[in-house]
């Protein structure tokens, strides 16, 4: 069993859900959550956590063989890009209500 850290929360709206909840469902099927779902919401805290995780991966990458290290650094870069995308598109809670 693997544990995945998700750096977003679900603002569930059935019609947008990629996890294919049953008709009339009032809750998502979180065990089948799909990245890219339009219901995901990322906060500034999530963006900070993405960067922290990227730093952690980079530190670990210094202790593994080069091929794996490159893959880990690429993964860390992807996490930073997501954090940057959040920063570039973030809206305040007031703007969303």
Residues that bind ligand SF4 (CB under 6 A): 10, 12, 17-19, 28, 30, 33-34, 37, 39-40
Question: Taking the complex as a whole, how short is the minimal distance between the CB of residue 26 and ligand SF4, in angstroms?
Answer: 12
Nearer to ligand SF4, 30 or 78 (CB): 30
Question: Taking the complex as a whole, how short is the minimal distance between the CB of residue 7 and ligand SF4, in angstroms?
Answer: 12
Nearer to ligand SF4, 27 or 64 (CB): 27
Alpha-carbon span 60 to 52, nearest angstrom = 12
How far, CA to CA in Å, does 75 sit from each of 58, 65, 96?
9, 15, 31
Question: Taking the complex as a whole, how short is the minimal distance between the CB of residue 21 and ligand SF4, in angstroms?
Answer: 7
3-state secondary structure of 40: strand
Nearer to ligand SF4, 20 or 84 (CB): 20
Is the distance from CB of 81 to CB of 42 less than 8 angstroms? Answer: no
| Residue of 74, 47, 44 whose CA lies nearest to 61 | 74
Alpha-carbon span 50 to 45, nearest angstrom = 9
Nearer to ligand SF4, 13 or 71 (CB): 13
């Amino acid at each position: 069993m693997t544990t995945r850290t998700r750096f977003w929360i679900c603002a569930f709206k059935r019609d947008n859900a990629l996890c294919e909840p049953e008709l009339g469902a009032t809750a998502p099927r979180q065990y089948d959550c799909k990245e890219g779902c339009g219901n995901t919401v990322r906060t500034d805290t999530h963006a900070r956590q993405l960067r922290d995780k990227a730093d952690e991966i980079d530190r670990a990458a210094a202790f593994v063989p080069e091929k794996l290290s490159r893959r880990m650094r690429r993964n860390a870069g992807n996490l930073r890009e997501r954090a940057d995308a959040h920063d570039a598109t973030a809206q305040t809670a007031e703007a969303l209500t």
